[in-house]
C-alpha cells in the first residue's frame, strides 16, 4: 500500500507504541467478551428438556428460532474449555442436538425463517469445531449423531456449493468447512473440492485483492465488492482453508489482500463498509450478520504488528454497541432509536468470531503498532474501486463513486441503494468520532428477517437533491460519477466529483453538479456548482450530523451552525448563497443500519435568475 504522504502522528493510548511500551492482551480480551456474549445467549436458550425445541436459542426481536443461532455451539464449547463451567457444555450439546433435529433430508439446514440453505456451511463448520472441543464430553450416542449430521452436511456442500449457487462469502467459507470435514472424516473428496472452490474464489479477486461476487447475478455469476463481508467472512474463510491445507497460493492472495484492506479500519476501530454493495447492513463495528474481523487478524497477527492493533481496537469499538441485557445492537445508538431488543444475529456471529480468534491467536499478548489511520497527511485513491480515503490532522473521510451496477436486477436491486455520486460516505473527527455516516438512499426490507421495520426514516448520507412533479433526484443515484484527485501531494488535498442528479431509475432530471472538496487539517470545504440545463428546481444540500453522546447542533445565525461535542466542537459555515435550515423532520433522521441518530442541516438553493449555474461554498471546521 502506497500513501502519498505520511506524517507519523499517533492518537490516544497508542502514543507510546512506537517505543514498544504497550502490549495488547488479545487472548484475554477475546475470551472476556466471548464469555460476556455467551450469557444472553444462555438466557435465551429453551432449557425445558420436554420442550420440542429444547436447545434452540430464541430471538425475541424476530420471534423466530433461527437455525443459524445454533452456530453458538462452538463459542459455547470454547467457553466451557475456558471456565470448565458445565452450563456452557450442556448448552452447547443441547443446541447441537436441536440443530441436528432441524437438518433436512438432503443434509442442509435452512436459514429459518427463510428457505436459503447456503448457511449450511456456517452451521457445519461450527459443529465440527465444537466436536473437537467436546470430544471427551460427548457420549457414544451424541458422537454418532454429530458425526452423521456432519457427513450429511458435508456431502450437501460438496454437491451444491459454487459461485453459481451462492454469494462468494459462502464459497469462501466452504473452502474452510470442507477442508475441516476432510480432516475430521478422512474423506479426500472434501479436500479436493475445497481446493477447487478456493481457486475459483481467488480468481475473482481484482489486482488489489478485493473479491467480486457479493452482488446480483448476471448471466450466471455474481459481481460486486463488499469490504465488510470480505473482512468478516470471505478472507478468513480462505485463510483458514490455507492454514488447514497448506495452500500457499491462496494464503499469499489473502495476505496481500489484507494489506490493502487495512486502511479501512478507522482510528477508533470502526470498520468502514460505507461504500460496499452490502452496506445496507453496515453497523460501523462491521456487519449485522457477518462474523467479525478478529478471526482474520488472528490468522495473520504474527506477520504484521498492525493486525493485532486493528483487531483490538475494533473489539473495543464493538463493546460500545452492546445494549442493556448484553446483546449487540445494530450500531452505536441502538438503545436510542429502538425500544425493542435487537436480533440475536450480531451476538452469536461475533461470539463465534471471538471463539475462533481466541483459538487461532498463538500469543497471549501482542505489541501494539500504529495503524495507517493513525498517521495524518495522506490521501489514498483506490482506482480499482473509485473510492477515495483522506486523512488529515483532525479528520478522516471516505468518498465513494464505486461504479458497480446490478445488471440483471437493475435499479430496483437491493445493492443499488448504497451511497454514490462522489458523496462523503463516512466522516470521522478526532475527539468526536463519527461526525457523518451514510445509510441507504431509500430504506426497504429486502430480507425481512434481517431488516427491522423503520417507517419514514430518512437517508443519513450527505447529498444534493431536489423533488419536483417528476420525482426525487439526487447525486446518490449517480452511479457514473467521475472522481478526480486534483491535489494529492500535500495537505490540503483536493478531490472533485462530477455527475447528474438522478432518480431511483438512474434517469437524470436536468440538473448537473460538480463537487470540489478541500480537505485541510482543521476543516473540510465543499464547493458545489449546479448546472441547470433542463430543469430549474429549488435544490437542497443535506448534511446530517451524527448526534454523539452529549452532542448538540444549533443554528447560530443565517450562515453558521454550531456542532458541540463533549471533547470537540465544530462549525458549519456557509457563504450566504443558500438558506440555512436546521432540524427539519429531525425525528426521521435515524436508521437501523447503522443505528444512528442525526440532526439534519440543510442548505436550500434557489435556481439562478440569470444564467444557468449557481455555486455554494461551505465548510465544516474545527471550532477553536
pLDDT of residue 13: 43
pLDDT of residue 562: 98
Instruction: Out of 2.40.40.20, 2.40.50.140, 1.50.10.10, 1.10.460.10, select the CATH number for domain 24-365.
Output: 1.50.10.10
pLDDT of residue 393: 97
- Cβ contacts of residue 466 below 8 Å, gap of 6+? 472, 473, 474, 501, 509, 511, 537, 538, 539, 540
* 8-state DSSP, 219: S
Alpha carbons 256 and 265: distance in angstroms, whole number: 16
If you average pLDDT over residues 536-561, what whole number do you get?
97
Give Dmax over CA atoms of the chain in angstroms.
86
Residue 619 pLDDT exceeds 60? yes
Average pLDDT, the chain: 95
For 315-333, how does the pLDDT look when each residue is reduced to its tens digit (9 = 90+)?
Answer: 999 999 999 999 999 999 9
Question: Considering Cα of 262, then 263, then 266, then 271, what sign does the dihedral take?
Answer: negative
pLDDT of residue 3: 31
User: What residues pair up with 433 in beta bridges, in sequence order?
Assistant: 429
Residue 15 pLDDT exceeds 70? no
Residue 7 pLDDT exceeds 80? no
Alpha carbons 508 and 421: distance in angstroms, whole number: 12
Residue 19 pLDDT exceeds 50? no
If you average pLDDT over residues 1-13, what whole number do you get?
34
Alpha carbons 562 and 565: distance in angstroms, whole number: 10
If you average pLDDT over residues 83-99, what whole number do you get?
98
Residue 99 pLDDT exceeds 60? yes
pLDDT of residue 5: 32
Write down the pTM of the prediction. 0.95
For 370-418, how does the pLDDT look when each residue is reduced to its tens digit (9 = 90+)?
Answer: 999 999 999 999 999 999 999 999 999 999 999 999 999 999 999 999 9
Place of cell 450500531: 331
Residue 4 pLDDT level (bands cut at 50, 70, 90): very low
Please report, rounded to a whole number, the percentage of residues in the chain having pLDDT higher than 90. Answer: 95
Q: Is 313 left (phi over 0), alpha (psi -120 to 50) or beta?
A: alpha
Residue 624 pLDDT level (bands cut at 50, 70, 90): confident
* 8-state DSSP, 234: I
pLDDT of residue 12: 41
Question: Considering Cα of 365, then 366, then 368, then 373, what sign does the dihedral take?
Answer: negative
Residue 516 pLDDT level (bands cut at 50, 70, 90): very high
What is the architecture, at CATH level 2, of domain 376-622? Distorted Sandwich (2.70)
DSSP string, 481-539: PEEEEEE-SSSSEEEEEEEEEE-TTS-EEEEEEEEEEEE-SSEEEEEEEEEESS----E
CB 622 within 8 A of CB 522: yes
The count of other CB atoms within 10 Å of the CB of residue 623 is 12
The alpha-helical segments, DSSP class H, found in 114-187 are 120-133, 140-160, 168-185
Domain range summary for the chain, segments of one domain joined by +: 24-365, 376-622
Tell me if residue 241 falls in helix, strand or coil.
helix
Residue 10 pLDDT exceeds 90? no
Rg (CA), the chain: 24
If you average pLDDT over residues 346-369, what whole number do you get?
97
Residue 18 pLDDT exceeds 50? no
pLDDT of residue 219: 87
For 289-307, how does the pLDDT look when each residue is reduced to its tens digit (9 = 90+)?
Answer: 999 999 999 999 999 999 9
Residue 450 pLDDT level (bands cut at 50, 70, 90): confident
Residue 6 pLDDT exceeds 70? no
For 423-442, how does the pLDDT look when each residue is reduced to its tens digit (9 = 90+)?
Answer: 999 999 999 999 999 999 99
Amino acid at each position: 500500500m502506497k500513501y502519498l504522504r505520511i506524517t507519523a502522528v499517533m492518537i490516544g493510548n497508542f502514543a507510546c507504541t512506537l517505543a514498544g511500551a504497550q502490549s495488547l492482551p488479545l487472548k484475554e480480551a477475546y475470551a472476556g467478551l466471548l464469555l460476556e456474549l455467551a450469557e444472553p445467549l444462555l438466557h435465551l436458550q429453551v432449557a425445558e428438556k420436554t420442550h420440542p425445541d429444547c436447545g434452540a436459542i430464541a430471538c425475541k426481536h424476530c420471534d423466530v428460532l433461527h437455525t443459524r443461532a445454533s452456530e453458538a455451539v462452538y463459542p459455547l464449547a470454547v467457553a466451557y474449555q475456558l471456565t470448565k463451567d458445565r452450563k456452557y457444555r450442556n448448552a452447547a450439546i443441547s443446541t447441537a442436538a436441536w440443530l441436528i433435529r432441524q437438518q433436512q433430508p438432503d443434509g442442509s439446514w435452512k436459514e429459518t425463517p427463510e428457505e436459503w440453505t447456503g448457511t449450511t456451511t456456517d452451521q457445519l463448520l461450527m459443529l465440527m469445531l465444537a466436536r473437537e472441543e467436546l470430544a471427551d464430553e460427548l457420549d457414544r450416542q451424541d458422537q454418532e449423531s454429530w458425526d452423521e449430521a456432519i457427513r450429511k452436511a458435508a456431502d450437501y456442500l460438496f454437491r451444491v456449493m459454487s459461485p453459481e449457487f451462492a454469494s462468494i462469502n459462502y464459497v469462501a467459507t466452504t473452502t474452510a468447512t470442507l477442508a475441516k470435514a476432510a480432516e475430521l472424516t478422512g474423506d479426500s473428496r472434501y479436500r479436493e473440492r475445497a481446493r477447487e472452490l478456493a481457486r475459483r474464489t481467488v480468481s475473482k479477486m481484482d489486482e488489489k485483492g478485493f473479491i467480486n461476487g457479493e452482488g446480483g447475478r448476471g448471466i450466471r455469476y455474481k459481481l460486486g465488492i463488499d469490504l465488510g463481508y470480505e473482512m468478516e467472512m470471505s478472507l478468513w474463510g480462505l485463510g483458514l482453508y490455507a492454514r488447514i491445507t497448506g495452500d500457499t497460493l491462496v494464503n499469499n492472495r489473502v495476505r496481500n489482500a489484507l494489506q490493502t484492506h487495512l486502511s479501512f479500519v478507522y482510528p477508533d476501530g470502526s470498520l468502514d463498509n460505507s461504500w460496499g454493495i452490502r452496506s445496507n447492513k453496515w453497523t460501523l463495528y462491521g456487519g449485522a450478520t457477518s462474523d467479525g474481523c478478529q478471526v482474520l487478524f488472528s490468522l495473520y497477527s504474527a506477520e504484521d504488528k498492525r493486525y493485532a492493533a486493528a483487531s483490538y481496537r475494533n473489539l473495543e469499538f464493538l463493546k460500545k454497541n452492546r445494549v442493556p441485557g448484553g446483546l449487540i445492537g445494530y450500531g452505536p445508538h441502538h438503545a436510542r432509536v429502538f425500544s425493542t431488543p435487537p436480533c440475536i444475529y450480531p451476538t452469536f456471529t461475533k461470539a463465534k468470531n471471538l471463539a475462533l480468534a481466541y483459538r487461532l491467536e498463538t500469543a497471549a499478548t501482542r505489541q501494539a503498532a500504529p495503524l495507517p489511520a493513525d498517521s495524518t497527511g495522506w490521501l489514498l485513491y483506490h482506482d480499482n474501486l473509485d473510492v477515495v480515503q483522506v486523512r488529515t490532522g483532525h479528520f478522516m473521510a471516505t468518498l465513494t463513486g464505486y461504479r458497480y451496477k446490478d445488471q440483471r436486477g437493475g435499479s430496483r436491486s437491493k445493492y443499488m441503494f448504497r451511497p454514490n455520486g462522489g458523496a462523503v460516505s463516512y466522516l470521522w473527527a478526532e475527539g468526536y468520532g463519527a461526525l457523518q455516516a451514510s445509510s441507504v438512499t431509500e430504506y426497504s426490507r429486502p430480507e425481512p428477517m434481517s431488516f427491522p421495520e423503520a417507517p419514514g426514516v430518512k437517508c443519513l448520507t450527505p447529498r444534493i437533491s431536489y423533488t419536483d412533479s417528476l420525482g426525487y433526484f439526487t447525486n446518490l443515484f449517480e452511479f457514473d460519477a467521475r472522481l478526480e484527485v486534483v491535489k494529492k501531494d500535500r495537505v490540503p488535498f483536493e478531490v472533485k466529483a462530477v455527475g447528474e442528479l438522478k432518480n431511483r431509475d438512474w434517469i437524470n432530471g436536468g440538473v448537473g453538479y460538480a463537487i470540489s472538496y478541500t480537505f485541510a487539517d482543521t476543516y473540510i470545504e465543499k464547493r458545489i456548482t449546479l448546472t441547470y440545463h433542463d430543469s430549474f428546481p429549488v435544490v437542497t444540500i443535506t448534511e446530517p450530523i451524527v448526534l454523539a453522546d452529549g452532542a448538540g447542533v444549533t443554528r447560530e445565525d443565517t450562515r453558521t451552525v454550531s456542532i458541540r461535542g463533549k471533547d470537540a466542537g465544530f462549525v458549519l459555515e456557509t457563504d450566504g448563497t443558500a438558506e440555512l435550515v436546521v432540524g427539519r423532520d429531525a425525528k426521521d433522521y435515524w436508521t437501523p443500519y447503522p443505528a444512528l441518530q442525526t440532526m439534519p442541516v440543510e442548505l436550500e438553493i434557489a435556481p439562478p435568475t440569470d444564467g444557468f449555474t449557481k455555486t455554494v461554498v461551505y465548510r465544516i471546521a474545527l471550532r477553536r
